Structure 1
Amino acid sequence: MEHIPFSLEMSVRDYECDMQGVVNNAVYQNYLEHARHEYLKSIGIDFAALAAQGINLVVTRVEIDYRFSLTSGDRFTVEVRPERISKVRMGFRQAIRRIPDGREVISALVTGTALNPKGRPQLPKELDEVLGKL
């Protein structure tokens, strides 16, 4: 991935692994979502405050390429790089990399939008400003 404005370090917990001893494929989406929420908080966008105003950030598409499996106790980083896809759609290019070797575990593109209180796609001003600087 190119310039990464945000990276979050995490660790695999035992209960996230399946019978084969590797992280279950669905768990990776939890890692990605947590990192996106932390990224938004880091730039001053409060996911919960938006929801309280009737503005809901929603995922409309997830593309994940699985390259390598994490196992219990592995440390890793989740990288987040936002991009504007259209007037009302945003994307988050994300990668998970194992620590300490930096091996790429997955790469993903998560696409989403925001729904205004009437349920119509409309990015909130603060998010639109951030995406406008990219």
Structure 2
Amino acid sequence: MTFKVDFKVRDYECDLQGIVNNSVYFNYLEHARHEFLSAQGVDFAKLAKDKINLVVIRSEMDYKHSLLPGDEFYVAVEPQRVSRLKFAFKQMVVRKCDDKVMLNALVIGTSVNEKGRPFLPAQIDQLFKPAP
């Protein structure tokens, strides 16, 4: 299942070179993951209130091309299972005008309980396909 969130580059997201600053892509990716979870009925704030915290434990990003001010693009999110306690989001940033892939990412996470111990609650567990 691939989920998509639309964006448009804002001028202040660009650096002196006139391109989207590399750190801004983390924000795009995180927002898309949160929108994915919300669309699946997962309330991020309620999880935190219940002392269940979703955490990123690894991020890999391959920058292919640079987004420019005003570019319209989307972030695709594909959930994947890594192991019994780890899940991943395979993500792509794609410029809409030419369907050019601007960035490929893999973000790996888990959830931890109030003692900081990894576990996957049922509502998170069911979102991710089993590891091959």
Q: Aligned-pair distance for 1:125?
A: 1.0
Indicate yes or no: 2:52 matched with 1:61.
no
Q: C-alpha offsets along residues 50-93 of structure 1, whole Å, 9 cap, x if unaligned? A: 00100000000000000000011100000000000011100000
- The residue correspondences of 1:44-83 to structure 2 (distance < 5 A) are 44-83=41-80
Q: Distance in 1 between matches of 2:105 and 2:54?
A: 18
**Rounded Cα–Cα distance in structure 2 between residues aligned with 1:34 and 1:68:** 20
Which 4+ stretches in 1 moved above 6 angstroms? none
Paired residue secondary structure (1:120): coil
Point out where structure 2 has 5 or more consecutive residues left out of the alignment: none
1:48-127 map, 5 Å: 48-127=45-124
User: What is the deviation of 1:123?
Assistant: 1.1
The answer to whether the aligner puts 1:31 opposite 2:28 as a matched pair is yes
- CA-CA distance at 1:119 after TM superposition: 1.0
Give 5+ residue unaligned stretches, structure 1: none
Give the structure-1-normalised TM-score: 0.94
Percent identity reads 51
**RMSD value over aligned CA atoms?**
1.2
Cα 1:18/1:43, change in 2 over 3 Å: same
TM-score (norm 2): 0.95
The structure 1 residue matched to 2:18, chosen from 16, 21, 25, is: 21
Shift of the 46–8 alpha-carbon distance from structure 1 to 2, 3 Å rule, reads: same
